[in-house]
């Protein structure tokens, strides 16, 4: 299933965020999704995404390529509490993001240049390159035909050539899901 999405984004500056308008621009997302049954009660989903984010601040303009996979299986309630099926999904993805120009926040080195006054050291900057791993699982406990309790655990690991943008994040979500 191919998908194309376009979004125009506009932001307003404020006293504590004076550069927000620099994020104005557009997102263009092209995706290819493949969803196939593996067994009678399970399926595998594969997805490839290409995202182009254009912004006024060129150091936030980027191209991102993402690959993801998810395996979902539906099975009978193993403890017989509600007599309705449970569902488990495991997922993972890898994203590569390459930015168009150096971020002025991050000096990545120095270089010696010749000046009329003699050699001088100047700061150098690098274009940003981020790599993200995301993986986790979702567990659905069906309580009624239209009500389930969902638990999700997820881990994000972002590496970047600019230290400011590196992080690891662990998330656990739990709550009801109501279907209309």
pLDDT for the residue numbered 114? 80
Q: What percent of the chain has pLDDT over 90?
A: 76
| Separation of alpha carbons 94 and 56, rounded Å | 27
Give the residue-averaged pLDDT of 140-163: 95
Instruction: Name the token pair of 160.
Output: 């970047």
104 or 133, higher pLDDT: 133
pLDDT for the residue numbered 112? 76
3-state secondary structure labels for all residues of the chain: CEEEEEEEECCCCECCECCHHHHCEEEEEEEEEEEEEEECCEEEEEEEEEEEEEECCHHHCEEEEEEEEEEEEEECCCCCCCCCCEEEEEEEEEEEEEEEEECCCCCCEEEEEEECCEEEEEEECCEEEEEEEEEEEEEEEEEECCEEEEEEEEEEEEEECCHHHCEEEEEEEEEEEECC
Beta-carbon count within 10 A of 128 CB = 23
pTM equals 0.80
Give the residue-averaged pLDDT of 14-21: 90
Give the residue-averaged pLDDT of 42-53: 98
Beta-carbon count within 10 A of 5 CB = 11
pLDDT for the residue numbered 108? 77
pLDDT for the residue numbered 119? 79
Instruction: Name the token pair of 47.
Output: 């997805």
Instruction: Name the token pair of 51.
Output: 């995202």
| Separation of alpha carbons 141 and 30, rounded Å | 33
Is residue 157 scored above 90 in pLDDT? yes
Give the residue-averaged pLDDT of 56-65: 95
Is residue 160 scored above 80 in pLDDT? yes
Q: Which residues contact 67 (CB under 8 A, 6 or more apart)?
A: 46, 47, 48, 93, 94, 95
Is residue 122 scored above 80 in pLDDT? no
Q: With bands split at pLDDT 50, 70 and 90, how would you rate the model's confidence at 20?
A: very high
Q: What percent of the chain has pLDDT over 70?
A: 99
Beta-carbon count within 10 A of 136 CB = 19
pLDDT for the residue numbered 103? 85
Is residue 124 scored above 90 in pLDDT? no
For residues 31-44, one letter each, b for 16 or more C-beta atoms within 10 angstroms of the residue's C-beta and e for the rest, the string is beeeeeeeeeeeee
Is residue 99 scored above 90 in pLDDT? yes
């Amino acid at each position: 299933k191919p998908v194309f999405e376009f979004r125009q984004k506009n932001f307003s500056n404020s006293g504590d965020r004076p550069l927000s308008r620099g994020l104005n621009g557009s997102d263009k997302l092209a995706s290819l999704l493949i969803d196939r049954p593996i067994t009678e009660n399970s399926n595998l989903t594969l997805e490839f995404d290409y995202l182009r984010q254009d912004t006024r601040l060129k150091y936030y303009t980027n191209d991102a390529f993402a690959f993801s996979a998810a395996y979902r299986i539906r099975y009978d309630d193993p403890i017989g509490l509600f007599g309705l099926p449970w569902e488990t999904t495991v997922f993972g993805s890898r994203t590569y993001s390459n930015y168009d120009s150096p971020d002025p926040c991050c000096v990545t080195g120095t270089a010696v240049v010749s000046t009329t006054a003699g050699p001088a050291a100047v700061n150098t900057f690098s274009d940003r390159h981020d790599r993200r791993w995301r993986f986790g699982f979702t567990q659905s406990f069906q309580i009624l035909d239209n009500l389930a309790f969902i638990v999700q655990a997820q881990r994000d690991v972002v590496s970047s050539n600019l230290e400011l943008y590196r992080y690891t994040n662990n998330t656990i979500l739990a709550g009801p899901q109501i279907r209309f």
